Amino acid sequence: MKIIKMIPITILLASSLIAGDAVKQSQLSADMKNMLAAMEHIQRSGFYQDYDGMKAGVEKLKENLKSLTTTDAKSYLPDDQAYADKFANKRASMITMYANDLSAAASAKNMDDALEDYTQLLKQCTSCHIRIRAW
């Protein structure tokens, strides 16, 4: 009789864990879309030498980095990609560093350095996507 009572509780707990991972994945997906929009904003601003626009894009990018560092990628990626968490955290720290450099270059109205930092940001994003998504 106790086993019969435990089955619904077990199912409820398992489903709540799965739903929690789905919410995390959904948040990560939304943040990734926002980061892509931020990168497009930075690029567009660079074409028009809009330094304030570049800085605004950098802030938008940095606001959405949290899910890379707070989401446990191991919970939804295959076992052969268990390294993804560590790799994503490293990419997030590098993105933050280059984003801060880009913002400083834009404040100094140094377009060459700002675009070089943008290139480095793009490399960090692409590097992570190549390894984790196995393109």
Q: What is the mean pLDDT of residues 68-91?
A: 73
Q: What would the 3-class secondary structure string for the chain be?
A: CHHHHHHHHHHHHHHHHHHHHHHHHHHHHHHHHHHHHHHHHHHHHHHCCCHHHHHHHHHHHHHCCHHHHHCCHHHCCCHHHCCHHHHHHHHHHHHHHHHHHHHHHHHCCCHHHHHHHHHHHHHHHHHHHHHHHCC
Here the tokens at position 80 are: 């052969």
Torsion angle (degrees, nearest 10) of CA 130, 61, 50, 118: -30
Q: Which two tokens stand for residue 104?
A: 């400083």
Q: How confident is the model at residue 16 (pLDDT cuts 50, 70, 90)?
A: very low
- The model scores a pTM over 0.85: no
pLDDT (0 to 100) of residue 89: 84
CB within 8 Å of 116: residues ≥ 6 apart: 105
pLDDT band (50, 70, 90) for residue 135 = very low
Whether 19 shows a pLDDT value over 90: the answer reads no
pLDDT, tens digit (0-9, with 9 covering 90-100), for 95-132 = 999 999 999 999 999 999 999 999 999 999 999 888 77
